[in-house]
Structure 1
Amino acid sequence: MRLATVVHEGAGIVVAAAGEDALVDLTRACGFRDMMALIEGGPAALVAARAALQRAPRIPLDAVAFRAPLRPAQLRDCLAFEAHLLNAFARAREMTGRAFEIPDVWYRQPIYYKSNRFSVIGHGEDVRWPAYSGHMDLELELAAVIGRGGRDISPEEAPAHIFGYTVFNDLTARDAQMAEMAGQLGPAKGKDFDTGNVLGPFILTADEVPHPAALEMRVSVNGERWGGGNSRAMHHDFAAIISYVSASETLHPGEVIGSGTVGTGCGLELGRRLADGDRMELWIEGIGTLANRIVRPGR
């Protein structure tokens, strides 16, 4: 089942996809005030949603405006694709003349940082180019949405804690990122700007994705294919990531964890940059296409 948050007739509602061009209003049919209510409702809420999908009236897809599927309770982003690092380091070597190598710790344990959960937008909304940056980039990622909380979760138990998966565009101000991370801390303003995190358009429920996730991924800009890959290439899968993150730390329903950029899933790896007005389209198998335009200040 594919779930989303949309605005219809002036009101925000939770919906389920009914085919490719229609939605079902789960707020009216089941009383879910938002996506968190559905997530916190557990298995019984999903049963009710599936029942509504069979009987509730349809809403045309073109009658709604998408929003982020949820406001994450917490937003973490990992660095799980070796190909992305190898490609990015090779490009950095060309630019600086310095050699970069993947540290041993990356292979031993998941690496992640905490993102700005307040700067999340959804499919179709404009990304606002931060005024301090001259080099903007997109990043194609798969994100897991936590459905059941816990602490010290084992890798074997971890898949049962995943509610579903969504597309994550982790926008990056590359010039700010490069400058600040030389200080051995960050990222900060390379990532933290309004509209810098994009989720959607749907959450695909975990029952439709065998673990570990092996979903095709691709990114296009202005209709031109840039790159992509498959989530099976994650060095640390989501079970390992959830187990590591939850060590002596409680995970909560509604937290979102990004995979990190799939190999060739960003412009940095390809020697390409975003430009004012570019339309980004990030597609992941089973979830759909997350499309947004990036615009400079003043537009």
Structure 2
Amino acid sequence: MRITRHATGGRPRLAVVDGDELVGLDAGVELPELIGTPGRLAAAAEAALRFRADVVPLAGTELLAPLAPPTFRDFSTFYEHANGISRNGRPEGGVAPEFFEIPTFYFSNPHAITGPYADVPVPPGCELFDFELEVGAVVGPAGRDVPVEEAAEHIAGFVVVNDFSARDVQFHEMRMGLGPAKGKDGSTTLGQFFVTPDELAPFRSGPSYDLRMEVRVNDQLIGGDTLANMSWSFEALLAYASRGADVRPGDLLGSGTCQNGCLAELWGRYGRDHLPPLRPGDVVTTSVEALGGTRNRVVPGAARHPITPWRTA
């Protein structure tokens, strides 16, 4: 099934997609509440479709992010992306051997999650604003130290992710051996649909899914890939995330950027002049087969206020 979240009466409401209509679930309930117990989301959707107490057209409805994830772990699973982006400031590039030893991730900002059609402001002082085309798996039932063989039972569904990035901020902060952090702190947009795994069964390819992924700026195709090119499966991501730690309903696990799915990767391959960074007025559109996508307009951001240390070496 496909689930959306839309604004109605000043409050968000979940709905199940039924053709070109949205059939509302019980008011006040949020997606993490429904996916923590197996079968609860399906029962809620079936009841909504049976009684059809709240029905609105899909077209013209203001869609929000399908959920507000309590945590967002963003991984790196596409080898060609990692190889391309490694060449920024280091022409020889190269991917560390650890790429195939552990599915590394960083914690991003769950409060930066926004909707599929929301305006996205340029972060203060950023001159190299970028997008990142990804897919996210959403945790269902909670777990800890989950084996890969059992991890699929803890994945409730999938969403499109566009992780907007302040690259100059990111490259600067990572010289300290930390991050990325502030460079990823501004906006992450989620696609309009939360899609359950059964919907993707026809696209299964090995441990992933053969879903075409594309990103455009001002309707010009920038790059694309297939989700099947992940080097690590979503089950492996969940198993690693849960190693010695709890994963809980609604936690978001990003695939990381696909090949050709961001400007920084292309800058690393072809030079900083290959494509310009995002500027106010640009419109970034992502699409992933069977999952939907996002379309966000870049707008001016706030001014950067200076900060200085109170003590120096």
Q: After TM superposition, give the deviation of residue 42 of structure 1 in Å.
A: 3.0
CA contact (8 A) 1:122 1:199 kept: yes
CA contact (8 A) 1:170 1:197 kept: yes
Any gaps of 5 or more consecutive residues in structure 1? none
What per-residue deviation string (whole Å, max 9, x for no partner) do you get for residues 199-258 of structure 1?
121110122223633121111111111111111111111111111111111111110000
**Mapping for residues 130-145 of structure 1, pairs under 5 Å:** 130-145=123-138
AA aligned opposite 1:198? T
What per-residue deviation string (whole Å, max 9, x for no partner) do you get for residues 106-129 of structure 1?
111101000111111011111111
Find the aligned partners of 1:63 and 1:100 in 2 and give their Cα distance.
46
Q: After TM superposition, give the deviation of residue 87 of structure 1 in Å.
A: 2.1
CA contact (8 A) 1:4 1:200 kept: no
1:289 to 293, 301, 304: 293
2:250 to 248, 251, 254: 254
1:201 to 172, 181, 192: 192
Q: After TM superposition, give the deviation of residue 63 of structure 1 in Å.
A: 4.2
Q: Name the SS for the 1:67 alignment partner.
A: coil
CA contact (8 A) 1:18 1:58 kept: no
Is residue 2:6 matched to residue 1:27? no
What per-residue deviation string (whole Å, max 9, x for no partner) do you get for residues 115-152 of structure 1?
11111101111111112211100000000000011111
Question: Which residue of the partner structure matches residue 214 of structure 2?
Answer: 218
CA change 1:227–1:53 in 2 (3 A) is: farther
CA contact (8 A) 2:37 2:141 kept: no
Identity of aligned residues (%): 36
Is residue 2:226 matched to residue 1:230? yes
Q: After TM superposition, give the deviation of residue 259 of structure 1 in Å.
A: 0.3
Moved over 3 A (4+): none
**Mapping for residues 82-97 of structure 1, pairs under 5 Å:** 82-90=79-87, 92=88, 96=89
Q: After TM superposition, give the deviation of residue 24 of structure 1 in Å.
A: 1.0
Is residue 2:52 matched to residue 1:48? no
Question: Which residue of the partner structure matches residue 186 of structure 1?
Answer: 179
Any gaps of 5 or more consecutive residues in structure 2? 267-273, 303-313
AA aligned opposite 2:64? R
AA aligned opposite 1:64? T
Question: Which residue of the partner structure matches residue 153 of structure 1?
Answer: 146
Find the aligned partners of 2:235 and 2:37 in 1 and give their Cα distance.
22
AA aligned opposite 1:16? V
Find the aligned partners of 1:54 and 1:279 in 2 and give their Cα distance.
39
Question: Which residue of the partner structure matches residue 308 of structure 2?
Answer: none
Find the aligned partners of 2:229 and 2:281 in 1 and give their Cα distance.
32
Find the aligned partners of 1:41 and 1:126 in 2 and give their Cα distance.
34
Find the aligned partners of 1:243 and 1:40 in 2 and give their Cα distance.
17
In the alignment of these two chains, the number of paired residues is 289
**Mapping for residues 103-118 of structure 1, pairs under 5 Å:** 103-118=96-111
What TM-score do the two structures reach when normalised by structure 1?
0.91
Question: Which residue of the partner structure matches residue 282 of structure 2?
Answer: 278
AA aligned opposite 2:237? I
Q: Name the SS for the 2:171 alignment partner.
A: helix
Find the aligned partners of 1:246 and 1:41 in 2 and give their Cα distance.
18
Find the aligned partners of 1:84 and 1:200 in 2 and give their Cα distance.
21
Q: Name the SS for the 1:4 alignment partner.
A: strand
CA contact (8 A) 1:15 1:26 kept: yes
Is residue 2:15 matched to residue 1:15? yes
Q: After superposing the two structures, state which structure 1 stretch, 107-116 or 49-58, moved more.
A: 49-58
AA aligned opposite 2:176? G
2:35 to 39, 42, 45: 39
CA contact (8 A) 1:8 1:63 kept: no
CA change 1:60–1:38 in 2 (3 A) is: same
Question: Which residue of the partner structure matches residue 78 of structure 1?
Answer: 75
CA contact (8 A) 1:27 1:34 kept: no
AA aligned opposite 1:245? A
Q: Name the SS for the 2:192 alignment partner.
A: strand
Question: Which residue of the partner structure matches residue 163 of structure 2?
Answer: 170
